[in-house]
Amino acid sequence: SDIYRAGITGSRPAAPVHPDALEHAARKALSAEAFAYIAGGAGAGRTMAANRAAFERWQVWPRPLRDVSERDLSTTFLGRTRHTPLLLAPLGVMEMAHAQADLAVARAAASLAVPYTLSNQASFPMEAVADAAPGGARLFQLYWSASDELNASLIGRAEASGCEAIVVTLDTHLLGWRTHDLDVGYLPFTRGLGIAQYTSDAVFQQLVRERARTSGPAPSVRMTPKTVAAGISMARKTAPITGVGVREGLRSPLPRAAVETFLDVFSTPALTWDDLAKAREWTSLPIILKGIVHPDDALRAVDAGLDGVWVSNHGGRQIDASVPTLAVLPEIADRVARRIPIVFDSGVRGGADAFIALALGATMVALGRPYAYGLAVAGEAGVREAVRNVLAELDITMGLAGLTAVSDIDRQALREVG
Ligand code: FNR
């Protein structure tokens, strides 16, 4: 209600409220390359479109006259009571959206008591993000690297810097066919951004020293698919890699060996379920698998003793014409049967979307691009605005549906179209 009151008294929001207007404002605030990277999807964009279209199959079924004056958005996730069922998804390379990048996001998230999943490809080392928002709940997202020592080191740092869980992203063992990025020359690689976790890591630095000594053939030979190879060769043409730096963790120019080491470890197409068992030895933190979209995989995660599944298709950035996440959520929820929490993302743009995902079995709903757009438009205040608007709409939708608690949001609150 404070949002309405602010509106009535004439104070303007920090960022546009309508999701399309927010995206439009971000497009204006960003360079063409940065907007392409953030907004773009894989291939012809069919998964992105399908993610949105999947919401059209479900409608909220309002029930008035049920006294909804006292509403409570709190829920339980990973053994703790959370203020709301919203979570911020990990977004890498946010320095493209704003110089304060992950620091601004962490502060905004903490101010709203929304847990923040820090990306493996963040623009600041995880310790700096922890310092920026000391009270905030954080999860660390890991891209499983080809080096076990590096995985163990990153997980150990996440634990030491106060992260509550490790989110292992499984849909990026090869980088997707990102048409928009290919068209503009793969900005993240050309700028050397998004590798602050690595450059601030002692194990990584050791790998770089070894790489510099042996200095084998260019890693682009080994990298698949062609996208990455093309990106690197383009990067070499457009910006000499030895002249690239990152904001924190490494202020001096980034040596070529560091970029090559990063490329060596980043792509892990040989990863299997067996490898995941190692993570258990490295940490006692809960482990959540991100990028699960098949019910059989969700069941396997339960059987393997994982602590959560995160239903995601990476916001449609990896496969063109992939299954939309909302369409597979009910079956996954049935199979998981509340034994472990389910995080849901890909295509959530407002509170009604979050309501639908909760009704179909999500424990927590994660937000991706909308908060990046808020960041681009107005930094920390913009992130806060984007997230707060989703929460406000969720609260209102719950009340108008005649419900007062997140645990009451179920399939009876929806009507299936057709
Ligand atoms: C992502 N995503 C992502 N996921 C991940 O596990 N690690 C990462 O570093 C990133 N980086 C990233 C950057 C950008 C710019 C985007 C848009 C997305 C995927 C992200 O966590 C989430 O799954 C999707 O963004 C959810 O879809 P929506 O909300 O953007 O539609």
Whether residue 225 is predicted with pLDDT greater than 60 in this model: the reply is no
- The ipTM, to two decimals, is 1.00
CB atoms within 10 A of CB 35: 21
The closest residue, in CA terms, to atom 15 on ligand 1 is 38
d(CA 245, CA 252): 6
* Pair 343, 308: CB distance under 8 Å: yes
Q: Is 141 annotated as a binding residue?
A: yes
The closest residue, in CA terms, to atom 13 on ligand 1 is 91
Q: Is the CB of 346 under 6 A from ligand 1?
A: yes
Could you read off the pLDDT of 21-43 as tens digits, one per residue?
999 999 999 999 899 999 999 99
pTM, to two decimals: 0.92
CATH class belonging to 2-173+273-416: alpha beta
Where in the chain are the domains?
2-173+273-416, 184-266
Atom of ligand 1 lying closest to residue 96 CA: 15
Whether residue 47 is predicted with pLDDT greater than 50 in this model: the reply is yes
Place of tokens 């992939």: 322
* Pair 131, 104: CB distance under 8 Å: no
* Pair 19, 350: CB distance under 8 Å: yes
Q: Is the CB of 197 under 6 A from ligand 1?
A: no
Atom of ligand 1 lying closest to residue 349 CA: 29
Could you read off the pLDDT of 242-295 as tens digits, one per residue?
333 333 333 345 677 888 888 888 889 999 999 999 999 999 999 999 999 999
Q: Is the link from the previous residue into 370 a cis peptide, with omega within 30 of 0?
A: no
The closest residue, in CA terms, to atom 3 on ligand 1 is 91
Q: Mark 347-368 as b/e (b = at least 16 C-beta within 10 Å).
A: bbbbbbbbbbbbbbbbbbbbbb
Q: Pick from 20, 91, 172, 293 the residue to mutate for probing ligand 1's pocket: most ligand atoms within 8 Å of its CB.
A: 91
Question: Residue 183: what pLDDT?
Answer: 81
How many angstroms separate the alpha carbon of residue 303 from the centre of ligand 1? 27
Hey, what are 235's tokens? Answer: 């990067």
Q: Is 28 annotated as a binding residue?
A: no
Q: Is 365 annotated as a binding residue?
A: no
Could you read off the pLDDT of 299-330 as tens digits, one per residue?
999 999 999 999 999 999 999 999 999 999 99
d(CA 286, CA 267): 24
Whether residue 399 is predicted with pLDDT greater than 80 in this model: the reply is yes
Question: Residue 216: what pLDDT?
Answer: 59
Known catalytic residues are 314
CB atoms within 10 A of CB 45: 17
Q: Is 119 annotated as a binding residue?
A: yes
The closest residue, in CA terms, to atom 14 on ligand 1 is 91
